Structure 1
Amino acid sequence: MILHVVPLDEWSADPHLPYRPPSLATEGFVHCSADEASALAVADARYRQVPGPLLVLCVEESALAAEVRWEGVGSVLFPHVYGPVERAAVTAVLEVRRDAEGRAIGLAARG
């Protein structure tokens, strides 16, 4: 299982098509994380100022048609998906819980 952080508006923009975040066009891959702690760190570092709900997609790596490469950023390996994410590969959608300053403090089931 790999995780991807995404604002709700971006994830829900076109629910009938595979998910294609802006990074797929600009960098050639979808950024993902290997675990909850890494996903929360990404949410905190890159999405703290983004208004509205912030989600974490739980993606079944083996259900993706696109290649997944585990690539290093410093000494940490991150999974990068080199193509769109099929919605059928998303097994759960969690919501990032944030404190009053917008810091990511945990994940919760989306209700």
Structure 2
Amino acid sequence: MIILHCLTENKWDKVKENSYYGKESIEAFGFIHCSSIENFWRVAPNFKDIDEPLLLLCIDSSKVEANIKWEDDENCGRKYPHIYGELNVDSVDTVIPFLKNDQGDFILNKELEQYISI
């Protein structure tokens, strides 16, 4: 299953050659925030005001070495994948741009449409 993680292009450029990513997130939150493709539109507004170019890491969850827990921290009736440990970069299947319209709203990438029922 593919799960998504959003980050700035600048940050990815700094870490993509490393074996692992996410130490800062783990120190701050205890895990790395991710989302299913189907629910990403719900978390996408969190990135609306970021002016830097953003990317989506398409992570093959079957290749992630760390423990992934699907949790509903906000009791909203939806569970999101949290990676409890650093992300092994070789589990990243693809990196695609975070697409926005003129209002800053997320646009679903064509590459992701194959994974969901629209």
TM-score, normalising length from structure 1?
0.85
Q: Secondary structure at the residue paired with 1:16?
A: coil
Give me the whole-angstrom Cα distance separating, in 2, the residues matched to 1:40 and 1:21: 25
| Distance verdict in 2 for CA 1:21–1:101, change over 3 Å | farther
Give me the whole-angstrom Cα distance separating, in 2, the residues matched to 1:94 and 1:108: 10
Quote how far apart the aligned CAs of 1:108 are: 5.0
Q: Secondary structure at the residue paired with 1:55?
A: strand
Aligned to 1:27: 29
Gaps of 5+ in 2: 112-118
Q: Deviations over 1:47-92 (max 9, x none)?
A: 1111122111111112111100010132001000001111110001
Percent identical among aligned pairs is 28
Please identify runs of 4+ aligned residues in structure 1 that moved more than 6 A: none
| Contact 1:97 1:108 (8 Å CA) reproduced | no
Task: State which drifts further: 19-28 or 55-64.
Answer: 19-28
Quote how far apart the aligned CAs of 1:15 are: 2.3
| Contact 1:41 1:104 (8 Å CA) reproduced | no
Aligned to 1:3: 4
Aligned to 1:46: 46
Q: Secondary structure at the residue paired with 1:46?
A: helix
| Distance verdict in 2 for CA 1:39–1:81, change over 3 Å | same
Pair 1:106-2:108 in alignment: yes
1:62 aligned partner, one-letter code: S
Give me the whole-angstrom Cα distance separating, in 1, the residues matched to 2:56 and 2:41: 9
Quote how far apart the aligned CAs of 1:10 are: 1.7
| Distance verdict in 2 for CA 1:22–1:38, change over 3 Å | farther
Give me the whole-angstrom Cα distance separating, in 2, the residues matched to 1:105 and 1:28: 29
